[in-house]
Chain A
Amino acid sequence: MTVETDVAAYATRLGDNALVLGQRMIEQVAAYPELEEELANANFALDHIGQARLFYTLAGDLEGAGRDEDDFAFRRPECEYRNLLIVEQPNGHFGDSIVRRVLFDSWYLLLLDALTRCSHEGLSTIAARAIKEVNYHLRHSSRWLVRLGDGTDESHDRVQRSLDDLWRFTGEMFVPDVLDDEIRITFKGPDLGSIEATWRERVAKIVAEATLEMPADQWMASGGKQGRHTEHFGYLLSEMQYLQRTYPGASW
């Protein structure tokens, strides 16, 4: 492995998170509870798709094997995708989407913030752009979490359950593997240990404002970064990759 291929693999992983979350959000288009939220959802999903394209293009350039953004998105099997499990979980109700976004974006924002200061120009440039978008997404989802938590009894109970259900997917965000270590050491990249402490603090603050309870420590699911996904993921890829798989080699 050269340093370039490490960064390529790392950028691919970031692209996978963005694409898979964007794809899940796209599934909800035309099904949102209010027109303003319909616009917000489509807009944020578009930001994630845009981030995925930038990360994949960087990965392709560093790899130097001629792969473009669509090779990464449409021509890789499940096991080559390295996204976190939280982003691939099926959509539930509106509160589930909001909780997922609060938990994931709180982590993603801190990660991007660290990447803006890393010494790899390609990564820091994309991070500097994406952080503005994610900052806004998180403000939006945090406000909604507060509305739902501090709304009616029904909404409070629903989002507390969403929080409890999704919590088990947060553990793997903070467990570094060889690649995380490599980016941290070689490029002064994100330190997942210190991100975890800040993440907990920030999430706890939003959760408290929403009059919700932080879930107890519990067993954590993992495997996304190693390409071991949940059963749901294969269906997401089958749908997304359908045209490219059915008509190999065609231009669209």
Chain B
Amino acid sequence: MYTQGLDQAGKSGTARSAEETPERLEAFQARIDAEEKIEAKDWMPEAYRRTLVRQISQHAHSEIIGMQPEGNWLTRAPTLKRKAILLAKVQDEAGHGLYLYGAAETLGVSRDRMVADLLSGKAKYSSIFNYPTLTWADIGAIGWLVDGAAIMNQIPLCRCSYGPYSRAMIRICKEESFHQRQGYEIMLTLCRGTGEQKAMAQDALNRFWWPSLMMFGPSDATSTHSAQSMQWKIKRFSNDELRRKFIDVTVPQAEFLGLTVPDDKLHFNRATGHYEHSDIDWQEFYEVISGNGPCNRQRMAKRRKAHDDGAWVRAAAQAHAAKQAARAAA
């Protein structure tokens, strides 16, 4: 309701709509290679624009759907301080969704269109949010592992070649880093608490470890979008590189907590300086991506219900604005 008309942007003689000649493509790549930022009004190849719209809108949708698993513990947070922190975090996520939709809109697609694609199931969001939060420890595990993995993915995006996305990511990363620390702190408190609390923390790690590793996406051998995104400097590191970095950082953190990472084959390889791990169950990843995760239907049903329940409110706001405009004109 706030952004109508944006879908037409780019069709009416802006720099963006000019034909893709080899000279233009070459000049564009030269700007990327020189680490220049591409801005909204600059010429860009259609595939670059489409890749960014897909990636930024998926990221925005993930923030919005991601409010649900954490929102699941807001009413039951164990102390007022934890409740306030979690609420602030969920509010940040709504804010991240808002900046990201804004960044994507600079590429000529309206928020209404993106939301419609989410609600119809056409657009995807991060598969991690299709896992349930069953105990309070899951809130710790999400902060520590899920936000930790998100940061690994997102810090390189602060240097993304597209200016509006890169600037949105700088702000988002600052907040994500706080989220990650509060998650680890919840885990630390549980691990220093009673036996039941520590068991709760171990159970959360058991359930969230593998889905967190899957957040980096398919392995490099099978990733479809990676090579072109790397060339355009939308992406700076491969999925496997980021995943390895995450594991290297996170395993010692689990050890410090006194928790066991649920992988029998996990060990440190002195020769490479990295951890070796078991194979990831990609079958599970593809199942969850295609709708067969524990909470896919639940998450989408809640999002659609919120949207449908709000229809009369949006209609009222538009009707009131129209009445006001008519009164002002009279």
Contacts and interface: CB of A to CB of B under 8 A. Distances in A.
Task: Indicate whether A and B interact.
Answer: yes
Interface of A: 19, 23, 26-27, 29-36, 38-39, 42-43, 45-46, 49-50, 52-53, 56, 69-70, 73-74, 93-95, 146-148, 150-152, 154-155, 158, 239-240, 242-244, 247, 250-252
Contacts of A38: 67, 94
A56 B318 CA distance: 42
B74 A29 contact: yes
Contacts of B2: 36
A30 to B, nearest CB: 4
B249 to A, nearest CB: 26
Contact of A49 (B80, B186, B309, B321): B80
Nearest to B87: A46
A250 B101 CA distance: 41
Contacts of A146: 320
A243 B136 contact: yes
A66 to B, nearest CB: 16
Nearest to A45: B87
A150 B314 contact: no
A30 B302 contact: yes
A252 B82 contact: yes
A34 B1 contact: yes
B168 interface: no
Interface residues of B, number: 52
A19 B315 CA distance: 32
Contacts of A148: 313, 316, 320
B211 to A, nearest CB: 20
Given A34-B1, A39-B98, A152 B80 contact: no
B101 A35 contact: yes
B314 A34 contact: yes
A69 to B, nearest CB: 5
Enumerate the 8 nearest inter-chain pairs by beta-carbon distance, A residue then B residue, closest first. A33-B310, A151-B316, A155-B316, A42-B91, A252-B78, A243-B78, A33-B313, A147-B320
Given A46-B91, A53-B80, A251-B193, A26 B75 contact: yes
A34 B306 CA distance: 9
B116 to A, nearest CB: 14
B247 interface: no
Contacts of B81: 53
Contacts of B310: 32-34, 94
Given A154-B315, A155-B312, A250-B197, A46 B88 contact: yes
Interface string B70-103: 0100111111111110011011001101100100
B181 to A, nearest CB: 16
